[in-house]
Amino acid sequence: MHTASQATVTFQLIRNATIKLSYPGATFLVDPMLAPKDACPGFAGTYNSHLRYPLVELPLALDEILQADAVIVTHTHADHWDAAARAMIPKRMPVFAQDGHDAAAIRKDGFLDVRVFDDGAAFAGTQLVRTRGQHGTDGMMAVPALAERMGRVSGVIFVHPGCPTVYVAGDTVWTGEVEQAIVRHRPDVIVLNTGYARVLGMDGAIIMGKEDLERAHRLAPQATVIGIHMEAVNHGMQTRRELREFIALQGLDATRVLVPEDGASCSFQR
């Protein structure tokens, strides 16, 4: 039987979509973007592409961020798995990729222990369940060049006996598969990328926005819903302030719908 301390899961937002999840026995570093402020040119063909990203510095020292046991890469876009991460993460650290294609690319960068969670995986007693995502609207996916650019993306559900279940949805819009993942797995914590990033010439966004926080909260009122992936890349159009104002305006439970600052952490128990 787990004690209360053993059953605790700690969530920490680093910056953008980079988070750390600490389960009994292992800390996972998810979607590391570790470059310093202004290191990269803005994403071509997106809003505010004249701005260099990251828009802000890391909130913690790199040594502290890299205190992890395994890395999870939901997809290999540069704001989730950047050159700095590839250079700084120890090459022997286990890295979990969504599929064989991404795993091959990560191995080419010199990583020696690359595993695939496409059909599920486990690490130090925590099960990793892959969920599917869609990196843009149906209209965007109907444009072959854009669909190819957005590529395949995934989310991850973390399951550990006696601990809260955490669903990290990844870079996706709200889809039936996202809804099914919440209904089927009944996560205690739902982490959504809510920066509402946009590409030029297309309606809608390539990731979620404020309305999706409300959808998740209404669908899973027992869960804590966390909005991240904001104020760090050029094409993100949703700010933390806007999300917090929306939460208040809609009368959502502010203890259940969270918008953390970079570096902030919180713990959850069943």
Is 2 part of any domain?
A: no
Number of domains present in the structure of the chain:
1
Cα separation, 262 vs 194, in Å, equals 14
- Answer yes or no: is pLDDT of 3 > 50: no
Q: Which residues pair with 168 in a beta bridge?
A: 156, 191
pLDDT digits (tens, 9 = 90+) for 96-136: 999 999 999 999 999 999 999 999 999 999 999 999 999 99
Q: Is the dihedral of CA 252, 254, 257, 259 positive or negative?
A: positive
Is 270 part of any domain?
A: no
Cα separation, 43 vs 40, in Å, equals 9
Band the pLDDT of 7: cuts 50, 70, 90. Answer: confident
- Answer yes or no: is pLDDT of 92 > 60: yes
Residue count of the chain, please give it: 270
CA distances 41 to 31, 48, 61, 155, 197, Å, are 19, 11, 23, 26, 16
Is 56 part of any domain?
A: yes
Is 266 part of any domain?
A: no
Mean pLDDT of 62-72: 98
The predicted pLDDT at position 48 comes to: 98
Long-range contacts of 179-182 (CB under 8 A, 24+ apart): 179/219, 181/131, 181/155, 181/157, 182/216, 182/219, 182/220, 182/223
Distance between start and end Cα atoms, the chain: 13
- Using an 8 Å Cβ cutoff, are 43 and 234 in contact? yes
The CATH number of the domain holding residue 101 is 3.60.15.10
Band the pLDDT of 4: cuts 50, 70, 90. Answer: very low
Q: Domain containing 125: what range?
A: 9-260
Mean pLDDT of 181-191: 98
The predicted pLDDT at position 5 comes to: 47
Residue type, 20: K
pLDDT digits (tens, 9 = 90+) for 75-88: 999 999 999 999 99
Band the pLDDT of 6: cuts 50, 70, 90. Answer: low
Q: Which two tokens stand for residue 71?
A: 């890395």
The predicted pLDDT at position 44 comes to: 97
Q: Which residues pair with 181 in a beta bridge?
A: none
Is 182 part of any domain?
A: yes
Q: Which residue's entry shows tokens 């669903």?
A: 167
Is 217 part of any domain?
A: yes
Is 168 part of any domain?
A: yes
Mean pLDDT of 250-256: 95
DSSP annotation string for 124-174: TTEEEEEEE--SS-HHHHTSHHHHHHH---EEEEEE-TTS--EEE--S---
Mean pLDDT of the chain: 96
CA distances 131 to 90, 117, 179, 225, 243, Å, are 27, 10, 11, 17, 25
In the three-class reduction of DSSP (H, G, I as helix; E, B as strand; rest coil), residue 68 is classed as coil
Is 132 part of any domain?
A: yes
Mean pLDDT of 248-266: 97
Share above pLDDT 70 across residues of the chain, in percent, rounded to a whole number? 98
- Using an 8 Å Cβ cutoff, are 165 and 159 in contact? yes
